[in-house]
């Protein structure tokens, strides 16, 4: 571990009530002490751990700002190193001047995520918990925050420890059979234990898929011909008048995007321009952007006006992108309809609603969650916030366990089964940050902001 003391601004740059400059390393207290002046004559070098001190930061003869300085001594700190936090006034000039003074006194500018990386390398948190720090910062819904806090508390780490322990226990029994074949240890007794571990991995993967929705969210495009109620539906989904609604067809000439939570899942809703034969360059550009939105979408809401007869434009819209999950939404259900059954909707789920009265909105929510989270509303206990790398490692662990189970079933050779279990054990270890390459760690912490 580097002996350098690092420093960075740990609050967002810009105007605000408070700005904070954080230092970590063996010289953190000494560097801060050279800059700090207290009316009471307090020396930070002699200050007790976890104490706060009032004073000013000076550079030479110039006073930079009035501050409160927190002193926290190793190992009871975020990084398990000496940590100093200088709380000054918010604002780019004040905060930057304090940081420049700290850097001039001997600290080095921290790299992205370096504080959290030091916490991991110094054994305070696991790699899983380090990633959870970023999940907390980037949470977009209350459910996402709850899941991130659970992960930060070690929920997934405990799962991994139990997983590796069981694989190690099975390996231990196999090693006994390999080294002492006369002892009463049989491969038949091993197979159910491998099955149990593989089942647990499958459960974790299922929770990770729900977590993927919380982390990445869904992009849902609202598509239809002009004046079918796309903008009215968007306003109803957002519970605000975000899009202009008139009786004139073609009011929306561009895509409108807004984010909102749907049963705890982050959703980016896209209201699009009406699809029809374009009349003029402006409408043609709107139609082009609608097709771009359709290509970006995870889900399509295909809107049909229930108060009018089906048109050729409607039929073309219902035939859009069969490879993208779609729901057919019959709008204006509060008005009389000239038809009872929507012809030729194929495998589409059909929802009737009135965005004006709110009837059918709950059914639309349920249809989306049923399609994408198997009808279950996610809870903090049913999701794991894993990234693509972690999901891949977990998937590989499950595959290696399955291979071990098949080898045991087919030929019962303990040494061959043990080799497959060793692979599974090593893969699960990577998830905990054990024997992970430096390049992987750099990629993980590069996603953090500098001050974290």
Residues 253 and 292 occupy one common structural domain: yes
Phi and psi at 431, nearest 5°, equal -60, -30
CA–CA gap between residue 400 and residue 408 (Å, rounded)? 12
Q: Are 240 and 289 in contact (CB under 8 A)?
A: no
Q: Are 52 and 70 in contact (CB under 8 A)?
A: yes
Domain of 253: which CATH number?
3.40.50.300
pLDDT at 258: 84
Domain that holds residue 188: 132-213+387-432
Give the pLDDT confidence score for residue 240 in this predicted structure.
Answer: 62
Q: What angle do CA 42, 44, 45 make, to 5 degrees?
A: 120
293 is a domain residue: yes
Based on the domain organization, do 164 and 235 belong to the same domain?
Answer: no
Looking at the structure, tell me whether residues 194 and 250 fall in a common domain. no
Q: Are 191 and 240 in the same domain?
A: no
CATH number at residue 100: 3.30.1360.120
pLDDT value, residue 246: 45
Domain assignment present for residue 450? The answer is no
Q: What is the mean pLDDT of each run of 10 residues along the chain (452 residues)?
A: 85 84 96 94 94 94 94 96 95 91 95 92 88 82 80 86 90 72 64 90 86 77 87 81 49 70 80 74 77 85 88 83 83 83 66 87 84 57 79 92 87 81 90 76 77 75
Q: Are 115 and 139 in the same domain?
A: no
**Is 444 domain-assigned?**
no
Does 116 lie in the same domain as 45? yes
Domain harbouring 144, CATH code: 1.20.120.430
Phi, psi (deg, nearest 5) at residue 449: -80, 165
d(CA 367, CA 445): 38
CA distance 185 to 327: 56
Domain count, the chain: 3
- In this structure, which long-range contacts are made by residues 137-140, counting pairs with CB atoms below 8 Å and at least 24 apart in sequence? 137/449, 137/452, 140/217, 140/259, 140/261, 140/266
């Amino acid at each position: 571990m580097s002996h350098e003391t690092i420093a960075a601004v740990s609050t967002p740059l810009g105007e605000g009530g408070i700005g904070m400059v954080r230092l970590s390393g063996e010289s953190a207290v000494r560097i801060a002490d050279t800059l700090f002046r207290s009316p009471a004559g307090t020396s930070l070098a002699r200050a007790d751990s976890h104490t706060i001190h009032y004073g000013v930061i000076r550079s030479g003869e110039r006073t930079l700002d009035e501050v409160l300085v927190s002193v926290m001594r190793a190992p009871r700190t975020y990084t398990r190193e000496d940590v100093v936090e200088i709380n000054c006034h918010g604002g780019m000039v004040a905060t930057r001047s304090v940081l420049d003074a700290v850097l001039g006194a001997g600290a080095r500018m921290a790299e992205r995520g370096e504080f959290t990386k030091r916490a991991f390398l110094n054994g305070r948190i696991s790699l899983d918990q380090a990633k959870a720090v970023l999940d907390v910062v980037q949470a977009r819904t209350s459910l996402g925050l709850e899941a991130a806090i659970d992960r930060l508390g070690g929920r997934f780490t405990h799962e991994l420890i139990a997983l590796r322990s069981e694989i190690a226990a099975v390996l231990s029994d196999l090693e006994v059979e390999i080294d002492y074949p006369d002892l009463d240890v049989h491969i038949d007794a091993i197979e159910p234990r491998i099955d149990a571990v593989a089942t647990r991995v499958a459960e974790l993967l299922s929770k990770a898929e729900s977590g993927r929705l919380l982390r990445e969210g869904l992009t849902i495009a609202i598509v239809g011909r002009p004046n079918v109620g796309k903008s009215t539906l968007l306003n109803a989904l957002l519970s605000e008048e975000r899009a202009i609604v008139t009786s004139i067809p073609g009011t929306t000439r561009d895509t409108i995007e807004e984010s909102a939570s749907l049963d705890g899942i982050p959703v980016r809703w896209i209201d699009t321009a009406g699809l029809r034969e374009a009349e003029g360059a402006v409408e043609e550009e709107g139609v082009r952007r609608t097709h771009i939105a359709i290509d970006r979408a995870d889900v399509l809401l295909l809107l049909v006006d229930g108060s009018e007869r089906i048109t050729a434009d409607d039929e073309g819209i219902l035939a859009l992108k069969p490879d993208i999950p779609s729901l057919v939404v019959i709008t204006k259900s509060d008005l009389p309809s000239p038809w009872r059954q929507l012809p030729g909707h194929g495998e589409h789920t059909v929802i009737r609603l009135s965005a004006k009265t709110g009837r059918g909105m709950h059914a639309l929510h349920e249809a989306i969650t049923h399609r994408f989270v198997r009808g279950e509303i996610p809870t903090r206990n049913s999701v794991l916030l894993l990234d693509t790398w972690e999901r891949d490692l977990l998937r590989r662990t499950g595959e290696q366990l399955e291979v071990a189970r098949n080898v045991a079933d087919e030929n019962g050779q303990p040494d061959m089964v043990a080799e497959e279990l060793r692979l599974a054990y090593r893969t699960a270890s990577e998830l905990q940050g054990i024997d992970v390459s430096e390049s992987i760690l750099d990629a993980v912490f590069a996603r953090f902001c500098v001050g974290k």
